[in-house]
């Protein structure tokens, strides 16, 4: 059974700082996704990582995938308040599984 | 391009009552998903359709939940009878991928969700 874990679950950081969210998964399978969810809103796709070593960047967010370590990271550079949200990683395999989410608060 | 439409947005019912949710996916999307998202948790897949066939319903509590996707387009999810622990947001998503045609990224597009409160 595919399991997806994230850490940290809660992250409070100051504007301008860098930080990394980690996503571990239990089985080898295709495609790793990152989604963002604002409070009371639905989910928005950020990145899809297709293969080992894949790196995607959009603005202050960069995602990477290491299939051998079964690990994906979401790196935040010089955080701004607008990045405050919950970030989910998700994996598809036999079925589609989301991680528990990392609730990020960026403080001024 | 219109997004995934869901209705109603909010529903309040008493336990043991029944409730139904409706979803209209993005036009041309073969795969449709229903998720349950309990407050503070990640979405949990309940059922996945490709066209009007069920691909995965392993986490659907079949004694009380049912779903259908007639004609491979719109879908309804029903709960009968509802329990207190069914209080959650029910999210519908759709994607392009279908049998025989793998889409590299297979991004799921989510609707706004239906927030269900069972009292």
pLDDT above 90 covers a percentage of chain A that reads 77
Residue B57 inside a domain? The answer is yes
Residue B53 lies in a domain: yes
Could you tell me the residue range of the domain that residue B92 belongs to? 5-99+107-114
Report domain extents, chain A.
4-107
Is B71 near chain A, with CB under 8 Å?
A: no
- At A10-38, the pLDDT tens digits run 999 999 999 999 999 998 766 899 999 99
B36: chain A residues, CB-CB within 8 Å:
none
* pLDDT for residue B1 is more than 70: no
Minimal Cα–Cα distance from A26 to chain B, Å? Answer: 17
Q: Which residues of A touch B (CB under 8 A)?
A: 4, 31, 33, 41-45, 48, 50, 88, 90, 92, 94-101
pLDDT in tens, A57-106: 999 999 999 999 999 999 999 999 999 999 999 998 777 899 999 999 99
The CA-based dihedral angle spanning residues A95, B2, A42, A21, taken in that order and rounded to the nearest 10 degrees: 70
Is B61 among the domain residues? yes
Is residue B55, in this structure, part of any structural domain at all? yes
Task: Classify residue B51: in a domain, yes or no.
Answer: yes
How close is the nearest chain A Cα to the Cα of B111, in Å? Answer: 6
Domain-located, residue B119: no
How many structural domains are present in chain B? 1
Class in CATH terms, A4-107:
mainly beta
Confidence of residue A47 (pLDDT cuts 50, 70, 90): very high
pLDDT confidence of residue B83: 97
Q: What is the CATH number of the domain that holds B24?
A: 2.60.40.10
């Amino acid at each position: 059974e595919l399991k997806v874990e994230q850490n940290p679950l809660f992250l409070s950081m100051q504007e301008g700082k860098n930080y990394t969210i980690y996503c571990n998964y239990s089985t080898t399978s295709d495609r790793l996704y990152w989604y963002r969810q604002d409070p009371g809103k639905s989910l928005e796709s950020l990145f899809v990582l297709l293969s080992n070593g894949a790196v995607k960047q959009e603005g202050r967010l960069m995602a990477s995938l290491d299939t051998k370590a079964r690990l994906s990271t979401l790196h935040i550079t010089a955080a701004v308040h607008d990045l405050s949200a919950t970030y989910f990683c998700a994996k598809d395999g036999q079925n589609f599984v989301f991680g528990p989410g990392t609730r990020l608060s960026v403080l001024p | 391009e219109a997004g995934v439409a869901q209705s109603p947005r909010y529903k309040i019912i008493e336990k043991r009552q029944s409730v139904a949710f409706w979803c209209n996916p993005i036009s041309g999307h073969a795969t449709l998903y229903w998720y349950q998202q309990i407050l503070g948790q990640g979405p949990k897949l309940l059922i996945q359709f490709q066209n009007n066939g069920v691909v995965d319903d392993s986490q659907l509590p079949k004694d009380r939940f049912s779903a259908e996707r007639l004609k491979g387009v719109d879908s309804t999810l029903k709960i009968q009878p509802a329990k207190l622990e069914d209080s959650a947001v029910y999210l519908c998503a759709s994607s392009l991928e279908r049998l025989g045609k793998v889409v590299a990224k297979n991004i799921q597009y989510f609707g706004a969700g239906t927030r269900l409160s069972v009292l």
